[in-house]
Amino acid sequence: MHTLIDMSDIKRAQINLTNVSQLTLFANRFAKLLEWQMPLFSEHPWIIFLDGDLGTGKTTFVRAVLHAMGEQGKIKSPTYTIIETYTIKSWQILHADLYRLADPEEWHFLGIDEYLNEKTIFFIEWPQKGAKMLPKPDLLLHYTFLPQGRALELTAFSQRSTLLLESVHEVYM
């Protein structure tokens, strides 16, 4: 696997995903690590922000993670519905795309905060459109275009997501 990982700082990792099959391979590992961590630190919902330009692969990544966790049905992009929900094993998975929010205040009208619990994993594309209204993230996944494929930078903001990045490091080194 021609994946390059740089973990100079344990709170940040960069991985090159040169095609969709590499993305899928990484998403499988990411899903396993997340599933393993969930029961250990389950006092809050897991909040995962995904940002990066249009078409950098945010939805593709979430789709691959959900498939790896066992979702069998169709995984639609939430571009038009804003939010899609899934129940996988005992987890409640939420997948939002806030690109179409005209104003961050609209977040409150969605009423999502009421659904969040310790069994929730919440993936949010275009989090900047919800700005300060959103819960604090555990992890930021930032995607950029490469001449071939995409670069993914992962930044951890919590103790449990730092542990997840350490596990990513162990898997890749």
Residues that bind ligand ATP in the complex, under the rule CB under 6 A: 17, 19-20, 23, 52, 54-60, 79, 97, 125, 149-150
The interface partner of residue 84, options being ligand ATP, Mg ion, none and the CB cut-off 5 to 8 Å by kind, is none
Q: In a 3-state reduction of DSSP, which class is residue 69?
A: helix
Residue whose Cβ sits closest to ligand ATP: 57
| Residue positions counted in the chain | 173
Binds Mg ion by CB under 5 A, chosen from 23, 31, 58, 168: 58
Residue 120 interacts with Mg ion (CB under 5 A)?
A: no
Q: Which two tokens stand for residue 68?
A: 């790896």
Judged by beta carbon, residue 150 or residue 160, the one nearer ligand ATP is 150
Of the listed pieces 27-35, 65-73, 122-130, 164-172, which binds Mg ion according to CB under 5 A?
122-130
Residue 74, classified by CB atoms within 10 Å of its CB into exposed (0-12), middle (13-18) or buried (19+), is: exposed
CA distances from 58 to 23, 51, 126 (A): 11, 7, 9
Position 59 contacts Mg ion (CB under 5 A): yes
Q: Are 29 and 37 in contact (CB under 8 A)?
A: no
* List of residues contacting Mg ion (CB under 5 A): 58-59, 125
